[in-house]
Structure 1
Amino acid sequence: MRLWFPRVMIALAAPVILGSCSGDLSALDPAGPYAGAIANLWWVMLIGAGLIFALVISLFLLVLYRPGFGSALSARRWMIFGGLILPVPVLLTLIVYGLAKGEYLLGAWQNEPVIARVEAQARMWKWEFAYPDMDLSNDATGVLHIPAGGVVEVSVTSTDVIHSFWIPRLAGKIDAIPGHTTRLRIKADAPGRYGGICAEYCGTGHSAMRFTVEAHAPEIYRQRLTELTTAKADR
């Protein structure tokens, strides 16, 4: 009977936990290498933390159910081994791995060329996108068009307060700062639609500050932008 409540809670929570691992805004369902690097880092951190937690719980249970366990080691040695020798290499490994992934996300250690550049401008409470390569001015429809299969560099800025540009399935977050331009690289492995949001609270309309990314096959990307330019000129 004592196990009834935890089992019910796990059964109720399981669909929520599993559901959060997929979907349009899931960072654990990557659709490109940059988002994939973040997902891999998350899983490594989770597994590392889980192993450490399992070790600590195992030692606790051994002490609880086997009195005298570990008495061969002095308290000083337990502190040295458990508090210094064990954590230091584990933490150093995780730090080095995390820094390496961070350098990759910033564009280091890769020679893949940028095939398109776009500009993202945030304002309360919408995103406007421009395509300097096509001389297409800001489009306030909340849809960002990119070519699939190649690296796209996004220049991000803001006209009012600090926002945060985030496409969970394609890349990490980057701040949109008034008077300053930050740059982020994204890549979609395949054509499709991906969700984007503002990840920094920016006022009463923050929750609705979303946008959509449409990744097109490379051969029709410029055609699609040309259609947008023509449609805007006719309005």
Structure 2
Amino acid sequence: MQGVTGDGRAAQDGLWGRRVHASILPWPALALLLAGCQGPLSTLDAAGPSAQAIATVWWWMLAVAILVLAGVVAAWMLAMRRGAAPQGDGAQQSAGRTERRWLVWGGLVLPSVCIAALVALGSPAGLHQLPLPGKASGVPAPLQIEAIGHQWWWEVRYPGHARAQRNEMRIPAGRPVDVITGSADVIHSFWVPRLGGKLDAVPGRSLRVRLQAHEPGTYRGQCAEFCGVGHAHMGMTVIAMEADAFDAWLAGAGPAAATSEAGGTVPQRGAQQ
């Protein structure tokens, strides 16, 4: 417990008399937190333009949140160090003006500025997720892929091609991909954190989200909507390939069924499960 002097201020042997040395800061904990920014399901370990736009918004939000927290803590510490409030009509009027300033600037102006900045910064990031026509010259047209959610697996099809995958999606690196989501039963959610935003797969509806991988690699996808007892195991592997290798793989498709990781097959449309 800290001592309190007669004027209500904390004694120097209490909170304000303590020193915090850099040597006791939790550096191992900080290292662990930073290590959490990477990984197959980390939205901060972006591997494509859509995911990078989301990560940029997140870092800006974190920076602003830290500044706001620092300002609130500084104001709190300043208020704790102040002595007893003076008495009298003049002092009460001054206190009233101070309260109104805090209400206007802290309760109205600051939130309005933060929300406006978030909208201005977040809107372009949202456009990265939409299947809009490409503007950059030399960029190939987006590839369309269907991802249909089932309890509890993903059916992946390539319109116009005799390809059907189970829990595996192959895409060309460096090319936009418009994923068309759907569901055969309940609401699922398609999400590949390192490549783009998430999008629900709703029965009876077709929704689209754009992904793109900067370079070849293997990325992890996961259903992000609780869809039943097998939800936790409803994952997907996304393999980004070189453009030529992907075209050869897509053209070399056989019958519209593919062996799954569990040894099953993706049935033809309309077939009984």
TM exceeding 0.5: yes
Contact 1:173/1:199 (<8 A) preserved = yes
Counterpart AA for 1:213: V
The SS at the match of 1:144 is: strand
Counterpart AA for 1:189: H
TM-score when normalising by structure 1: 0.86
CA distance in 2, matches of 1:27, 1:226: 32
Q: Which runs of 5 or more structure 2 residues have no equivalent in the other structure?
A: 1-17, 86-93, 259-264, 266-273
| 1:67-216 matched pairs, under 5 angstroms | 67=83, 74-108=98-132, 110-112=134-136, 113-133=140-160, 135-140=161-166, 142-216=167-241
Report the CA distance between 1:105 and its aligned residue. Answer: 2.1
Q: Which runs of 5 or more structure 1 residues have no equivalent in the other structure?
A: none
Structure 1 segments, 4+ long, off by >6 Å, are none
User: Where is the strand percentage greater, Structure 1 or Structure 2?
Assistant: 1
TM-score when normalising by structure 2: 0.74
User: Where is the helix percentage greater, Structure 1 or Structure 2?
Assistant: 1
Cα distance, 1:108–1:65 mapped onto 2, change above 3 Å: farther
Contact 2:173/2:215 (<8 A) preserved = yes
Task: Give the paired residue count.
Answer: 228
CA distance in 2, matches of 1:210, 1:218: 25
Contact 1:33/1:187 (<8 A) preserved = yes
Percent identical pairs in the alignment equals 41
Report the CA distance between 1:102 and its aligned residue. Answer: 1.5
Report the CA distance between 1:74 and its aligned residue. Answer: 2.5
CA distance in 1, matches of 2:211, 2:61: 23
